[in-house]
Amino acid sequence: MNAKFAGVDAETSSISFKDININLDNTDVNGVSFALKALNSGQVDVDGTFNININVANNNNWIYGVLSQNQGTVNLKDTNIVFTNNEKTGGEVGLYSNNSNIAIDGNLTILNSDSSNSQNYAIFVTNNGQVTSSNSLTYIDGNLRATSNGMIDLTMSENSYWQGKSTIASDGVVNIDMNKTRWDMNNTSTLTNLTANQSNIKFLSSPNNFFTLTTQNLSGTDNTFNMNTDLGSISSTVNSNGERIGTAGVNGDLLVISGNNTATNNTLIVNNNGSAATQGNEVLQIVSTAPNNQGDFHLSSAVEAGGYQYGLRQTTDPTKNGWELFSTGITSSTAKAAVNSYFNVSYLLSYIDNQTLLQRMGELRGGEGKQGSFWMRAYGGKLNSFSGQKLDGFDMNYAGTQLGIDKQLQLSSGDLYLGLMASYVKADPDYKAGSGTAKSVSTGGYLTYLDNNGFYFDTVLKYTNIRNKFSVRDTQNNSVQGHTQSNGYGVSFEFGRQFKLGKSNFYIEPQFQLAYQYQDGDKASATNGLEIKMDDYDSVLGRASGIVGYKMTDSKNLQLNLYAKTGVVQEFAGDTSYRLNGSKEKFSFNGAWFDNGIGVNAKINNRHNIYGELDYATGHRFDKIQASIGYRLNF
């Protein structure tokens, strides 16, 4: 059936159909129009498929798919009502019941042309009117409204979908029974009874426009509620517990169960928000319940807001009932990766690049070079267990190369080396929730003096550029990336003296080293909106070590030096800070660790040096294992 403004009209009469299709071309009509109407005790029965297609354009009045009032009755089976076009100024209603009954015993589809329009309704009941559905596969893109004792009672079967809101006024009733159904709630809604099983209710809210879902009673099991918050918008002052208390329904979405709550295993999915300007002390109620009826709620995962993680607990305020988000004191996975990437990775790359003279160039004593030397070395290892503070769960594999060339000056008291060096290190950091890459390039110079009496000192000046990238998964398995870059400058002073033990081939060598490193600050903008600003820092490392070695000469062409070392390294500075969306956190590298190793140096023909070392360090902040091998040519 094709019509302009009116389709089937049953007024004071009864009409029955098997299947019916009504196409209403409602263009340029300035009056109330409908596809099907039942008035004044009139009745329409459709014992088959009922399809309504309404083209809405240039209409400044109400348009109805099914209009029933004054004790009209409409009984439908499979029903499809579709509004197209929205060039109008009036409203549209799929099913309208005013002091009448509309019953659907079959599948139900209602598609409003624009469900966000406040004048559009999928279902509208008033004055004791009723709309009911029985175990229907339901697809609704539109709003529900019940006023003046009107009642909407929908049972949605498996795989049903609803997008829209529900409003109640003047003792209206809206009962929703959902089974494996999804509801995308696009505005604040009110229900009378919500029965949900294995269903998902998603709050389609946004910052500064959060929604509240209020239901008198909640029952069912295994449901999820997707909610949004902006914990960074909480502006209250800190209370006696050091917390800032948000306003429920203002700083985030809110679920209110005003009456009986028997639902079990309710999962709350509170979306992560990396851009939130949190301070790590916020509290926000997201579920409000009647006294002594908090129900069973839990988070699907920790919530990441800004640079911090939040958990769920029952409300601690005795004047409130329900559940609230609170800071766990744990830094977010993104913040951990970013700060680890900059501070820990940069610090450790500088540390492992700042080697001892013996590691860098091997044994210099006893060579016959008169002009200088060329040397190169390769090393690799692993650092892990960077413990303490908020940045635990970090380890890093690395590999590097160094090379240098120097000029040897022979003095009456000993030999002086003036050289240039360069190094490259590549590292692969691993975090609890992801990984990264880091590259360090250094250039510098050194001055080394070996006295004839066994004393030596070594000075190194260098410039370092470090680039880091990280890629992690947040608590909701979202991928987050970011990168940092910084420049640094360092100087190292090392001295010691070798003492031969009697006439034997054994010797001991105490060593001392002081290394200063400055690393400038940087800012990382993670893809989830988190802004991390790292301050610059100073590092002052002091090392006191001792070596016990044994030298043996097979012939003039081969000299071996075997040694073992042990010592302690202490960080005397290393205090710095970083900011997570403006929230300041302190950080310190201060600590000590033991540094142990064994090594060998082989001189061949007094011109070729092959040397290697295996090191192990363990301490307050991290553990390290490293192997290195090098070659030096005297010329």
Residues 41 and 182 in one domain: yes
Closest by Cα among 372, 364, 542, 355 to 455 = 364
Strands (E), 315-454: 322-331, 372-384, 394-410, 414-431, 434-451
Domain total in the chain:
2
**Which residues have C-beta within 8 Å of that of residue 121, sequence separation ≥ 6?**
91, 92, 93, 94, 96, 112, 142, 143, 144, 145
Q: How confident is the model at residue 334 (pLDDT cuts 50, 70, 90)?
A: confident
Residues 340 and 427 in one domain: yes
Q: Does pTM surpass 0.75?
A: yes
Alpha carbons within 13 angstroms on the beta-carbon side of residue 536 total 9
Q: Report yes or no on 99 lying in a domain.
A: yes
Amino acid at 80: N
Q: Return the pLDDT at 435.
A: 87
Residue 628 or 60, more confident: 628
Q: Mean pLDDT, to the nearest integer, of 539-566?
A: 91
Residue 418 or 559, more confident: 418
Q: Report yes or no on 568 lying in a domain.
A: yes
Residues 246 and 367 in one domain: no
Query: Among 213, 232, 265, where does a domain finish?
Result: 265
Q: Report yes or no on 474 lying in a domain.
A: yes
Range of 604's domain? Answer: 333-634
Range name among 128-137, 236-245, 539-548, 625-634 with the lowest pLDDT average? 236-245
Q: Return the pLDDT at 90.
A: 74
Cα R_g (the chain), whole angstroms: 38
**Which residues have C-beta within 8 Å of that of residue 42, sequence separation ≥ 6?**
10, 11, 12, 13, 14, 15, 72, 73
Structure tokens at 149: 């004792």
Q: Rounded to an integer, what distance in angstroms lies between the CA atom of residue 92 and that of residue 21?
A: 19
Alpha carbons within 13 angstroms on the beta-carbon side of residue 432 total 15
Amino acid at 89: T
Q: How confident is the model at residue 335 (pLDDT cuts 50, 70, 90)?
A: confident
Residues 246 and 357 in one domain: no
Q: What are phi and psi of 474, to 5 degrees?
A: -80, -175
Q: Report yes or no on 98 lying in a domain.
A: yes
Residues 406 and 511 in one domain: yes
**Which residues have C-beta within 8 Å of that of residue 458, sequence separation ≥ 6?**
357, 446, 447, 448, 449, 492, 493, 494, 495
Residues 259 and 365 in one domain: no
Q: Mean pLDDT, to the nearest integer, of 519-548?
A: 93
- Percent of the chain whose predicted confidence (pLDDT) is above 90: 70
Residues 218 and 354 in one domain: no
Residues 256 and 163 in one domain: yes
Query: Among 233, 265, 297, where does a domain finish?
Result: 265
Report H helices in 291-410. Answer: 333-339, 345-353, 357-361
Amino acid at 411: L
Residue 598 or 354, more confident: 598
Closest by Cα among 567, 456, 468 to 523 = 468
Residues 452 and 561 in one domain: yes
In the predicted structure, residue 594 carries a pLDDT above the cut 70: yes
Residues 373 and 479 in one domain: yes
Q: Rounded to an integer, what distance in angstroms lies between the CA atom of residue 34 and that of residue 329?
A: 59
388-393-394-395 Cα dihedral, nearest 10 degrees: 110
Q: Return the pLDDT at 290.
A: 93
Q: Report yes or no on 319 lying in a domain.
A: no
Q: Mean pLDDT, to the nearest integer, of 71-76?
A: 96
Residue with the two structure tokens 């490193």: 517
Q: Return the pLDDT at 430.
A: 85
Q: Return the pLDDT at 173.
A: 98
Q: C-alpha angle 102/106/110, rounded to 5°?
A: 65
Structure tokens at 396: 């890093």
Q: Report yes or no on 322 lying in a domain.
A: no
83's enclosing H/E stretch is strand 79-87
The mean of the pLDDT values for the chain is: 91
Range name among 56-60, 197-201, 255-259, 419-423 with the lowest pLDDT average? 56-60
Q: Return the pLDDT at 368.
A: 60
With contact defined as beta carbons under 8 Å apart, do 472 and 437 qualify? no
Query: Among 248, 265, 282, where does a domain finish?
Result: 265
Amino acid at 368: E
Q: What are phi and psi of 15, to 5 degrees?
A: -135, 140
Span 426-462, pLDDT tens digits: 999 887 778 889 999 999 999 999 999 999 999 999 9
Q: Return the pLDDT at 353.
A: 87
Bridge partners (DSSP) of residue 420 are: 405, 445
Q: Return the pLDDT at 2.
A: 58
Residues 341 and 250 in one domain: no
Q: How far apart are the first and last CA of the chain?
A: 103
With contact defined as beta carbons under 8 Å apart, do 595 and 582 qualify? no
Q: Report yes or no on 96 lying in a domain.
A: yes
Q: Report yes or no on 412 lying in a domain.
A: yes
Q: Return the pLDDT at 3.
A: 54
Residue 392 or 458, more confident: 458
Bridge partners (DSSP) of residue 592 are: 570
573's enclosing H/E stretch is none
Closest by Cα among 36, 32, 29, 1 to 15 = 36
Q: Rounded to an integer, what distance in angstroms lies between the CA atom of residue 220 and that of residue 267?
A: 12
Q: How confident is the model at residue 24 (pLDDT cuts 50, 70, 90)?
A: confident
Q: Mean pLDDT, to the nearest integer, of 307-332?
A: 93
Span 505-524, pLDDT tens digits: 999 999 999 999 999 988 88
Closest by Cα among 590, 592, 494 to 547 = 494
Span 221-255, pLDDT tens digits: 999 999 999 999 998 888 888 899 999 999 999 99
- Residue 467 CB: number of other CB atoms within 10 A? 15
Top-confidence range, 90-94, 420-424, 589-593: 420-424
The DSSP symbol for 290 reads -
Q: Indicate which CATH number applies to the domain containing 490.
A: 2.40.128.130
Q: Return the pLDDT at 86.
A: 58
Q: How confident is the model at residue 622 (pLDDT cuts 50, 70, 90)?
A: confident
Residues 198 and 338 in one domain: no
Q: How confident is the model at residue 393 (pLDDT cuts 50, 70, 90)?
A: low
Residue 1 or 620, more confident: 620
Q: How confident is the model at residue 591 (pLDDT cuts 50, 70, 90)?
A: confident
